[in-house]
Chain A
Amino acid sequence: MAESFTHDHDVLVIGAGGAGLRAAIEAAAAGVKVGLVCKSLLGKAHTVMAEGGVAAALAHVDDRDSWRVHFADTMRGGQYLNNPRMAELHAKEAPERVRELEAWGALFDRTREGKILQRNFGGHRYPRLAHVGDRTGLEMIRTLQDHGIHQGIEVFMEVTVVELLKDGDRVSGCVAYDRERGKMHLFKAKSIVMATGGIGRAYKITSNSWEYTGDGQSLAYHAGAELLDMEFVQFHPTGMVWPPSVRGILVTEGVRGEGGVLRNKAGKRFMFDDIPDNYKAQTADNEEEGWRYCQGDKNARRPPELLTRDHVARCIMREVKGGRGSPNGGVFLDVAWIKPHVPGGAEHIKKKLPSMYHQFKELAGIDITQVPMEVGPTTHYIMGGVRVDADTQMSTVPGLFAAGECAAGLHGANRLGGNSLSDLIVFGKRAGEYAAKFAKENGGVQIDRAQVEAAECMVLEPFGRSAAENAYAVQHDLQNTMQDLVGIVRNEGEMAQAVDKVAELARRAAVVGVSGNREYNPGWHTAIDLRNLLTVSEAVARSALLRKESRGGHFREDYPDKDKRFGTVNHAIRKGADGQMEVFEVAVPTPSDELQAVIKEMG
């Protein structure tokens, strides 16, 4: 067997979301030969779906903002499991990266003085999110795409990478197939940037698309790289719950930023009932103050609806479990109530939240300017991912870099809204820069034919097993397993069961059969994705089992409190010599003296 196409690049970027595009642009600017591979068409990556905004301390709306406040907010939100150096770089460099988007054609909403407007978002002390209505991700990916196509980058659309190759310790390329014809491709590269996004398809209720099968995390792991923080999955508090077929689709936090409030079936704003101690000083204790905050009153504190996502999600779960939820198993999110209090009434809501208005109107037949939405938690984001060096984004495998959602470190135990889009451009740029540098400083690589053939074999095997297990059925069972056993509220017994079930599903996946031929065959693609989904699911379950406390996105009913000891360690994962997954503790990096002082000062 042989691949149909071979390609040779200095830097190969896998993934064309915000992180991948930004990395490719930067690498190309360094004058090396760059390839960019993505599973879907250019401009369709997950980044396109981001709604609320990109966080950067531009201080256009509130001049008290600075990188130091943004840094402190990010650390507090991440419950101090973040890599402090990454949080520092992110806070310092995000403003420059956002301005750069403007220089490349992005048109963010404006302040009255004609500057980039910023909005409030959960966990951010000041209005910090640059945005375009509620389609910020579209603006960002289109800007990067339209700029990127003129930089001499070679783009491979609808090409899926299935295995990384190694030359000794170093990464040397990858094997991929194209969806259109099902032909195999061999990519040789001096360095590789992983920018493949998240793992949401491991869960049944998710805001993520089919692409989110954890490919980057899984491929890096199988190539010998370490993963970090995989127990920290973010469940966004507000996904659609009705109709059933749209369950999980995101309802942006921007709704709450604009003044939307959460109520239970009795009409009570239940978020006031449970404000964590470390947020009490910055949270409004009455409705009137919360509303003033949403209207831009600098002396007001934010409403409890804008507490961090992990907390809001659990409060919603508590209402639902306590029988105080809405008819379809969620709670009410009401933005219609602001109408009498804003100029323009319903029109104001439509202007501020156009795609939400559209989404509910089209998919649920509901007018959000008139009636409350029904919402509930949905799997949204993974804080964990490939373990990288803070400055260069290189993984523990030389020449293999990672950026964006598939990398770990910036967000710790919980990500603040808006901190992902900024993560993509800050660390996408860094990954591209250092991957180019690595390619220049290190010589060529050798391809090991045996590795290539093993990968091609693995990919084509399912065709020989037509009557065996069905890929869709295995995927479906895995999604139910993760949703039920390693979801928002976790415990020892269920997670141990999940580890066993994942192992059993892996046995079923090994005998999955595929019918039809190789051209654009989704059954086959689903079969190939299973290995990655199973790998990341196991990683999530195993790290979660070992974290015997509750923190950020990880909540255990058998250990409902934070444990000081766990506050000093991250969980890392690697593939052991025997091929088994090993989880081990590593110390959270200590912040520099300067950063410690900032944390202390900002509280």
Chain B
Amino acid sequence: MAKTTFSIYRGDSEGGQFADYQTEVGEGMVVLDCVHQIQAESAPDLAVRWNCKAGKCGSCSAEVNGKPRLMCMTRMSDLPEGETVTLEPLKAFPRLRDLVTDVSWNYGVKQGIAKFAPRAPDAEDGTWRMQQEDIDRVQEFRKCIECFLCQDVCHVLRDHRKHGEFAGPRHFVYAAALEMHPLDTADRVEALKEQEGLGYCNITKCCTTVCPEGITITDNAIIPLKERVVDRHYDPMRSLVRGLIGR
């Protein structure tokens, strides 16, 4: 079996550089397997986050050859054969060490979004009735594994560093799930415009492209939220939104 070279970012919040490692790539291996093998063979202190190794927890996000991906779901056989594989941490968040970044900002943003507030139960048994077709869309949003790849790829965070004013696609998906929940009664429209900076999104759809859960972030979450804002306010994006949704 051939050895493959990995160029991995090693460093901390102060800075760092890429270091090369070679390891043997076996059948069916994913990038995370290679990282683990490198840890066991030659770099025991190589920092990486992971949990499930099955694309379910959203811990192992990194940039593989410059693209935001889950390392546990990136098969080596899908990368160009014989070429060096570059691994580096997400760029939208502060670096901690090697492939690990500080994603705590996301947890703070979520906490700032008004929580679920159901209407009073209205079925005889003290619960609610909901039809499957009324929850299909929200279930799509609730597939989110909080990998923050969409946050990483979004230029508003990645390039313009608007972390103080912009919640990012993950949290628009979260807000949309609450807003479209058949039982919810809270109103998040004003906050989406004023605090969460929905207006900064110019619908590039990069977030949708990287989402490992295949959530149609832009079309199904962001655009309907923008519509709600537009319906209540004048918004500079109005004409663009209307244009995109064909109205």
Chain A residues in contact with chain B, CB under 8 A?
40-46, 48-49, 99, 102-105, 107, 109-110, 113-115, 132-133, 135, 138-139, 142, 146-147, 149-150, 157, 180, 209-211, 242-246, 249-250, 355, 358-359, 362-365, 470-473, 476, 514-517, 519-524, 526
Contacts and interface: CB of A to CB of B under 8 A. Distances in A.
B181 A114 contact: no
B contacts with A: majority SS = loop
Nearest to A155: B107
Given A520-B100, A523-B39, A243 B29 contact: yes
B96 interface: yes
A107 B184 CA distance: 12
Nearest to A141: B57
B76 to A, nearest CB: 9
B196 interface: no
Contacts of B97: 180, 519-520
Contacts of A102: 127-128
Closest 7 CB pairs of A and B: A243-B28, A516-B45, A523-B44, A114-B129, A105-B116, A520-B47, A520-B97
A115 B129 contact: yes
B102 to A, nearest CB: 8
B142 A132 contact: yes
Contacts of B59: 40-41, 44
A149 B126 CA distance: 26
Interface in B34-84: 39-40, 44-59, 73, 75
A16 to B, nearest CB: 12
Best-surrounded residue of A40, A44, A46, A250 (most CB of chain B within 10 A): A44
B143 A138 contact: yes
B141 to A, nearest CB: 10
A244 B45 contact: no
Contacts of B235: none
B100 A359 contact: no
B39 A105 contact: no
B202 interface: no
A359 B55 contact: yes
Nearest to B182: A107
A138 B130 contact: no
Contacts of A514: 44-45
A472 B44 CA distance: 8
Given A48-B57, A102-B128, A138-B143, A146 B48 contact: no
Contacts of B143: 135, 138
A209 B27 contact: no
A209 B55 contact: no
A41 B148 CA distance: 13
Contact of B132 (A44, A105, A110): A110
Contact of A358 (B55, B129, B130, B146): B55
Contacts of A42: 107
B181 A107 contact: yes
Nearest to B27: A243
Contact of B116 (A146, A358, A364): A146
A49 B56 CA distance: 6
Interface of B: 12, 26-30, 33, 39-40, 44-59, 73, 75, 96-98, 100, 102-104, 107, 110-111, 115-116, 118, 121, 126-132, 135, 138-139, 142-146, 178, 181, 183-184
Best-surrounded residue of B27, B53, B132 (most CB of chain A within 10 A): B53
B131 A110 contact: yes
Contacts of A210: 50-51
A244 B27 contact: yes
A486 to B, nearest CB: 23
Contact of B139 (A107, A209, A358, A524): A107
Given A149-B110, A244-B28, A521-B45, A362 B51 contact: no
A246 B96 contact: no
A132 B96 contact: no
A522 B139 contact: no
Best-surrounded residue of B103, B104, B116 (most CB of chain A within 10 A): B116
B54 A364 contact: no
A523 B45 contact: yes
A341 to B, nearest CB: 21
Contacts of B56: 48-49, 135, 138, 355
A162 to B, nearest CB: 19
A359 B50 CA distance: 17
Given A114-B129, A142-B142, A104 B116 contact: yes
Given A135-B143, A471-B44, A49 B12 contact: no
Contact of B57 (A44, A104, A110): A44
Contacts of B145: 48, 138
Contacts of A114: 128-131
A40 B116 contact: no
19 contacts: A40-B51, A44-B51, A44-B57, A44-B58, A48-B51, A99-B127, A104-B116, A105-B181, A138-B56, A138-B143, A210-B50, A250-B54, A358-B55, A362-B75, A363-B54, A472-B44, A473-B40, A517-B45, A521-B45
